[in-house]
Structure 1
Amino acid sequence: MSRRGFLGATAGTVASSYAAGKAEARAQGNQRTIDMTDGLVFDPEETTVAPGTTVVWENVGSVGHSVTAYEDEIPDEAQYFASGGFDSEEAARSAYPDGDIAGGETYQHTLEVEGTYGYFCIPHETAGMVAELTVSADAGGGDGDGGAVPDIPESARVVGIVTMAAMVSVVLLAYFFLKYGGDYGLE
């Protein structure tokens, strides 16, 4: 294969890998995970996401938890949410332990309406397991990391590393020839 053919094939592979990676990041960008821990906390306790983000609460411990919105602490137009699919805070409280999320399980809800959402874990509310979500168009991608560096496909990293190594080699070679090469003082 000619050098031009090899470089063209490599560029095509890098471009397709980059496009696939970008599509994957876009799909993941509309999702945010919040951990529920055995320390009886939601981690992070305060989160900001963009409208349309699906929030996934994941129980990373072994203690059962719930996710229950405070009815009076969500925007008026917003859909109520509670693990177990309840349509009100009172229904969720009275039916507990229905809606319990066991260790290793998840609950998810997509937030469309901008505003602040207060929520809690029914059995651990008095222990302080409460948290707050803010849905704002200013949040950007929905990953809540506030400017996190996007993932770069492996093939693009390799091309970048090889390019940097080649550039450093050229600079070192030029330095060597400038310092030691040239006029040898023929006598």
Structure 2
Amino acid sequence: MEIRANSVLIPPQTTTYYCSIIELPSELKQTKHHAIKYEAVITPGNEQFVHHFEVFHCQTPTKPFAGDCSTAKPTEAKSCSKVLAAWSMGANPVVFPPQAGMPLGGPGFIPFLMVEIHYNNPALLSGYTDSSGLRITFTKNLRPFDAGIMELGLIYSDANSVPPMQKAWPLTGYCPSECTEKAK
């Protein structure tokens, strides 16, 4: 399955966030599957523009949408906030270990996903069309464990980035008990 931009004309502005909301195919709506791999699909020639993207699971039903992430999104899309996958320039495909997969679909799973693509165009170039996105490989043969993503912190900070080739990188944070009591 692929979640991609649909021939988006990259505007001549420094930063653009494009969103695409899709409804899962009926096969995934009916039966729980495991995502076992995800990888970027970048339109050839647009590597300079596609900075990063994230795929979110929508927590309430919404409707398909494609357009600017700011004011044009449907109101219901505010619930599309649970990260399922993320990619940034230079990243390799993510392959889950044989014991685990990211749960996707099935009864009770709200069947909408949103990809948010960040285009970086500091030279303000024009005339580029993009259909980049994420390819997700999934299986109906469930693995023993469900994988998940835990997000920590309030905002992104370069101070949280692990420098290349580090064997260890200490990072300290504080999470009050009120926070951990809400974990599922």
Taking structure 2 as the reference length, what is the TM-score of the superposition?
0.30
Instruction: Write 1 or 2 for the structure with the bigger share of helix.
Output: 1
Structure number with higher relative contact order (C-alpha < 8 Å, ≥ 6 residues apart) = 2
